[in-house]
Amino acid sequence: MTRVLVTNDDGIESPGLHALAVTLLERGMEVVIAAPVTQSSGSSASIMAEDDGGRIAVERRTLEGLESVPTFAVHGGPGLIALIAARGAFGDPTDVVASGVNHGANVGRAILHSGTVGAALTGGLNGAWGVAVSLDVGLHPSEFRWDAAAEAAADLVPGLLRHPRGTVINVNVPNSGEHRGVVEAELAPFGIVQTTLTQQDEHDIRLAVEDLPNAPEPGTDAAFLAEGWVTVSGLDPVSHVRLDIV
């Protein structure tokens, strides 16, 4: 039986986390849940944690409908959770690290900053298969199709497992009842939102998130997602580029 760690960067109470765990459990997988106590978006693959004398606080939790699933709230981000899970913090190391369902799309090279993606990459770096899944809710959603995103990710797990351990995919799902299909897509140069400075003075800097002014580059994950496709992008946790400069 495939053993899966379900984590996220939106926190242990996230409905996206719940939907993903329920779906994978219904698909016959052995699920363990470990997620941050609080919101950890933008944490990338950070292994920083709230600690007390070098100890990482972990609390047992019970989630409705998942009472049989071992569940842990961790005082640390998803990258740290994936790392300590690989070391046996929540029982035997898992075969898969499934991260999400994230509140908002994670597309383009901006996924570097995503805690959702950071957990999947950390899992891959430590010998698991990794899948990050996000729901493209936009900035002002009126509904959330968490189940659709969870189902799309679960559908891709069997194919993922046919690849070598360490393979990681990033999945984005339209926030609608229907989609046009699933497409493998390259990463856009940027994401679908940008971060801007809205205030800067001697003591404070304030950031805001807003839509990019231009249409996404055709053929990229951002463009396909905007057109109603589920996008899948393979990621390399760490790659080496030869420069020949010495």
Tens of pLDDT, residues 29-51: 999 999 999 987 878 877 777 76
User: What residues are paired with 182 via a beta bridge?
Assistant: 230
CA distance 209 to 135: 17
Contact 205, 196 (CB under 8 A): no
Q: 63-95, pLDDT tens digit by residue? A: 999 999 999 999 999 999 999 999 999 999 999
Mean pLDDT value across the chain: 90
Radius of gyration (C-alpha) of the chain in whole angstroms: 18
pLDDT < 50 regions, the chain: none
DSSP for 172-226 reads EEESSS--S-EEE-BPPSS-SEEEEEEEE-SS-EEEEEEE-SSPPPTTBHHHHHH
Contact 34, 72 (CB under 8 A): yes
- List the domains of the chain with CATH numbers: 3-188+216-235 (3.40.1210.10)
